[in-house]
């Protein structure tokens, strides 16, 4: 029986009860070998933290104008691979394609590279070329993340950190997290209305900004650790990025699984490693089966934590999972199935699933299944 349990009052009461029951049942204060440890698996973005670490990596690369590759290489990264880059991205906007966005981005990138010698970074950010470059690059990121799926061995269109050494990337990611944790939490709109249209025309994109590592999750990782329950992170972000972020919860790098990026001559490329497992959706389940369970005598996790359809398989299809915890972000699709199940199971003895609400504006948990989403004042349970 465990003597360490969660105490933060912001947890939804039944979720708190069930998590503590699982911890008390499986935890120990006695010495235990790694292979005999029970373990829990976590998503990272919008689960272990508020908002998205990869979004903020992209924002920081642009903010620091820190893309290292040439114009020609950048165009290749933005367009190469098994993706339809000529398809219109919006109805009635035939010119708005990935191909045309890439042409515009590289054009403004070239202008800014030439201006670098004459302007400091603050002055560079004030130029029209920078505003156009930033907004069109964010639009490219937004559409790629929603329309396409990365594939092992292929270029991924948003890996603009190509050219960094592992050490440089790790330092840059750590610096980015410090910056992102200081940003105010809000939704920021970027637009090129009134500026040069280029190949792709005017674009507008909204980005959520402001990372937070909430006290409720810090306590959770600590309590699990004190109970000799191992913790693993499975993130759809690049593995190196996840490993840097996981340090905030004292999760060792060997316990973090994400998208593995191919290296060439000691530098990161924009390609996903051949044969790499894609750590999203069913790929998270396969990561557990192939990478984590063998370290624990083939045993599957006792708990899983997630927030989106990318965590569906991890939350609903793990054999012998004692508890799945869904953080309610008002996501559509399969996530709604999980919320509905959580509502049906509410207050049932040994319930295998609970739903936890949060307030995204304050970056805190709520003692409710309902959440208050960013830029909203009303509660959301089901869509």
Q: Which of 25, 19, 18 is nearest to 2 (CA)?
A: 25
Of 209, 243, 269, the residue at which a domain comes to its end is 209
Q: What does the alpha-carbon distance between residue 309 and residue 289 come to, in Å, rounded to a whole number? A: 19
Q: What is the pLDDT of residue 383?
A: 81
What would the pLDDT profile of 244-264 be if each residue is shown by its tens digit? 999 999 999 999 999 999 999
Cα radius of gyration (the chain): 22
Number of domains within the chain: 2
User: Three-class SS string for 224-291?
Assistant: HHHCCCEEEEEEEEEHHHHHHHHHHHCCCHHHEEEECEEEECCEEEEEECCCCCCCCCHHHHHHHHHH
**Residue pLDDT, tens place only, 115-134:** 998 999 999 999 999 999 99
* Residues 151 and 284 placed together within one structural domain of the fold: no
CA angle 100, 159, 121 (to 5 degrees): 80
Residue 3 domain flag: no
User: Would you say 261 and 272 are in contact if contact means Cβ atoms under 8 Å apart?
Assistant: yes
Do both 201 and 286 map to the same domain? no
Q: Please give the Cα distance from 326 to 230 (Å, whole number).
A: 19
Q: Both 188 and 313 in a single domain?
A: no
What pLDDT is attached to residue 1?
Answer: 53
Would you say residue 2 lies in a domain? no
Indicate whether 41 belongs to any domain: yes
Q: Tell me which residue range forms the domain holding 176.
A: 53-209
Q: What is the reported pLDDT for 2?
A: 56
Claim to verify: residue 218 and residue 245 sit in the same structural domain = yes
pTM over 0.85: yes
Do 200 and 262 reside in the same domain of the chain? no
Q: Cα separation of 307 and 300, whole Å?
A: 20
Q: Which residues contact 264 (CB under 8 A, 6 or more apart)?
A: none
Q: Are residue 113 and residue 191 in the same domain, yes or no? A: yes
* Beta carbons within 8 Å of 187's beta carbon, 6+ residues apart: 206, 207, 208, 209, 374, 375
Residue spans of the chain under pLDDT 50: none
For 167-183, b where at least 16 C-beta lie within 10 A, e where not — what string?
eebbebbeebbeebeeb
Phi-psi region of 297 (alpha: psi -120 to 50; beta: other; left: phi over 0): left
Mean of all residue pLDDT scores within the chain: 97
End-to-end CA distance of the chain: 39
Same domain, 268 and 202: no
For 20-56, letters b (16+ CB in 10 Å) and e give bbbbeebbeeeeeeeeebbbbbbbbbbbbbbbbbbbb
The CATH number assigned to the domain holding 263 equals: 3.40.50.1000
pLDDT of residue 42: 99
Percent of the chain with pLDDT over 70: 99
User: For residue 9, which phi and psi values (nearest 5 degrees)?
Assistant: -75, -5
Closest CA to 192 of 118, 101, 123, 89: 101
Residues 44 and 62 in one domain: no
Q: Indicate whether 62 and 41 sit together in one domain.
A: no
């Amino acid at each position: 029986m465990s003597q360490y349990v969660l105490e933060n009052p912001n947890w939804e009461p039944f979720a708190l009860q069930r998590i503590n029951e699982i911890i008390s049942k499986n935890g120990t204060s006695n010495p235990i070998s790694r292979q005999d440890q029970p373990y829990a698996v976590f998503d990272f973005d919008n689960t272990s933290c508020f908002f998205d670490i990869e979004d903020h990596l992209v924002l920081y690369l642009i903010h620091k104008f820190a893309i290292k590759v040439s114009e020609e290489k950048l165009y290749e990264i933005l367009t190469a691979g098994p993706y339809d880059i000529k398809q219109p991205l919006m109805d009635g906007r035939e010119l708005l394609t990935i191909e045309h966005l890439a042409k515009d981005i590289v054009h403004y990138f070239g202008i800014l590279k030439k201006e670098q010698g004459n302007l400091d970074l603050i002055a560079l950010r004030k130029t029209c070329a920078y505003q156009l470059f930033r907004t069109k690059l964010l639009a490219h990121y937004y559409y790629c993340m929603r329309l396409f799926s990365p594939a092992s061995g292929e270029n991924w269109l948003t890996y603009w950190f190509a050219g960094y050494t592992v050490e440089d990337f790790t330092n840059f990611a750590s610096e980015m997290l410090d910056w992102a944790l200081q940003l105010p939490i809000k939704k920021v709109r970027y637009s090129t209305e009134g500026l040069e249209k280029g190949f792709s025309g005017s674009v507008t994109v909204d980005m959520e900004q402001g990372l937070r590592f909430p006290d409720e999750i810090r306590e959770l990782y600590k309590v699990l650790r004190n109970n000799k329950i191992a913790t693993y992170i499975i993130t759809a972000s690049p593995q190196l990025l996840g490993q840097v972020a996981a340090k905030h919860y004292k999760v060792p790098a060997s316990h973090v699984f994400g998208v593995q990026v191919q290296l060439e001559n000691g530098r990161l490329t924009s390609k996903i490693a051949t044969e790499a497992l894609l750590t999203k959706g069913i790929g998270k389940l396969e990561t557990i089966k192939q990478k984590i369970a063998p370290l624990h005598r083939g045993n599957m996790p006792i708990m899983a934590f997630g927030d989106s359809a990318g965590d569906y398989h991890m939350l609903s299809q793990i054999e012998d999972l004692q508890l799945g915890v869904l953080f309610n972000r008002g996501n559509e699709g399969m996530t709604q199935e999980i919320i509905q199940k959580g509502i049906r199971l509410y207050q049932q003895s040994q319930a295998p699933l609970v739903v936890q609400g949060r307030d995204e504006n304050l970056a805190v948990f709520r003692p409710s299944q309902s959440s208050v989403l960013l830029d909203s004042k009303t509660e959301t349970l089901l869509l």
